[in-house]
Amino acid sequence: VLFGKKIADLDLQKWGHEYRQHAAFQPAGANINFVEVLGDNKLRVRTYERGVENETLSCGTGCVASAYLAHLKKRTRYPTEIMTRGGNLKVSKDPQDQHFYLEGEVKAVYEAKLT
């Protein structure tokens, strides 16, 4: 998870690939989340995913990790609204059991038929 400003303008193909291939993450590599704090409970997240080797519309675990780290750094509070290319999500944390919850719209973006 990397925090920055104006991530909407970031060349994600270039920087995502570079960080994903970093020696610290080898041999398996890692998903790389670029995060911009937009307010006390709002983030923009863009994710470069290993295996896909490109930006994806959204990544649930990446959004939860981003919200958690932003909260630890005292940059946001829960619930945290997450803006992704695929839509808006909400991350919350139950103060009793410490579990995280991810909410958002589900929509089909691809369909295929195997024969």
* Domain count for the chain: 1
Tell me if 50 is assigned to some domain.
yes
CATH of the domain at 35: 3.10.310.10
Q: Which three-class secondary structure state does DSSP give residue 112?
A: coil
Residue 26 resides in a domain: yes
Instruction: Give the pTM.
Output: 0.89
pLDDT of res. 106: 87
CA distances from 93 to 27, 33, 69, 77 (A): 32, 20, 13, 10
Q: Which pLDDT value is given to residue 87?
A: 94
Alpha carbons within 13 angstroms on the beta-carbon side of residue 100 total 17
Predicted pLDDT of residue 34: 98
Residue 9 included in any domain: yes
Summarised one tens digit per residue, pLDDT across range 38-97 is 999 999 999 999 999 999 999 999 999 999 999 999 999 999 999 999 999 999 999 899
Domain carrying residue 75: 2-104
Domain membership of residue 77 (yes or no) is: yes
Q: Would you state the pLDDT for residue 107?
A: 86
114: in domain = no
**Mean of pLDDT values over 95-115:** 92
- Tokens 């920087």 correspond to 15
Whether residue 69 is contained in a domain is answered as: yes
Asked if the structure places residue 111 within a domain, the reply is no
**Is residue 115 a part of any domain in this protein?**
no
**Collapsed DSSP state (helix, strand, coil) of residue 22:** coil
